[in-house]
Amino acid sequence: MTFRRPLPIQPGLLSGVVCALGAGLAWGLVFVVPLMLIDYPPLLISAGRYLAFGLIALPLAWRDRQRLCRLDRQDWARAFELALIGNLLYYCLLAAAIQLADAPVPTMLIGTLPIVIAVCANLGRGGIAWRRLLPSLAVIGLGILLVNQHELGRLAGGRNVEDYLLGSLLALGALACWTWYPLRNAAWLKGRPDLASTTWATAQGLATLPLALLLFAGISLLVPSPAGFDWPLGPQPGKFLGLVLALGLLASWLGTLLWNRASTLLPTALSGQLIVFETLAALAYAYVWRGEAPGLASTGGILLLVLGVILGVRAFRAA
């Protein structure tokens, strides 16, 4: 009997997976904060998060001003495009979906991103053979189905069907935004290997700031505030400011930086699968916030998600 020697993991592959893991842990926060700020309108949470992101980017931009000055008009146009669709529109839709349908169901719909992005990326250039990719996608898909089955069973105990359906529809819109964002972002970064991940993250923060200011102004002028809501900081100003600042720093700037780095180190079809780290982190945070442990089906689904990531990494390592 002969044993095959395990294939070594390339340093770039390992670093890319670690960066994707860090980004997922940071992005998972965006799923639980709307539940922690349940009395706040989703548009206000989104505006607050990205105002914080833009303000955090200002001192970072001054420090990195020499490299930012090298960006051309196309770079800035792409940064504004990514900020509008991948940041503001995505999170407005997601925050509203979470408040309507609770965190786990939108999380699981967004959790299909690893499959959707990997398939879309593999249809383009630089993909690997489908026979290598499909086993990991099948395992991730089964994991998503198991967790969804458990969460749908909780509907009778809380949310009504109308809120669930509307929340799911909004989550599908968020899914479309975040399918487009990493593919577009990765393609842009791979075409500019000299563009540093920190510089591109800061550029997106600067592009987000005026858009977030416009969103905040539009909410203030056009959207009626809830009865008894002390605009704009609401009933718990300290909690609101602390959480949106945490989202701006961790979920927006740090998560974007780490994901940019992962996008430059990994094939897009693999990095798309690794967005499952965001799903796993969001599930963990949601269960901690609810003060309960996942059920048997959810636990099995989570384990399958982890197994799917391992199979995906092995497929690309072998290729």
Give tens-digit pLDDT for 280-302.
Answer: 888 888 888 888 877 787 788 88
b (16+ CB within 10 A) / e for 189-202:
beeeeebbbbbbbb
Can you tell me the distance from the alpha carbon of 262 to that of 242, in angstroms, rounded to the nearest whole number? 28
Tokens of 151: 């969460």
> For residue 64, is pLDDT > 70?
yes
pLDDT of res. 299: 82
Q: Domain spans of the chain?
A: 11-224+234-318
pLDDT of res. 82: 93
Can you tell me the distance from the alpha carbon of 238 to that of 240, in angstroms, rounded to the nearest whole number? 5
Q: Which of 9, 22, 8 has the alpha carbon at shortest distance from 197?
A: 22
pLDDT of res. 2: 46
pLDDT of res. 3: 42
Can you tell me the distance from the alpha carbon of 245 to that of 52, in angstroms, rounded to the nearest whole number? 5
Give the chain's mean pLDDT.
81
17-31, 211-225, 234-248: least confidently modelled range: 211-225
Can you tell me the distance from the alpha carbon of 274 to that of 310, in angstroms, rounded to the nearest whole number? 10
Confidence of residue 230 (pLDDT cuts 50, 70, 90): confident
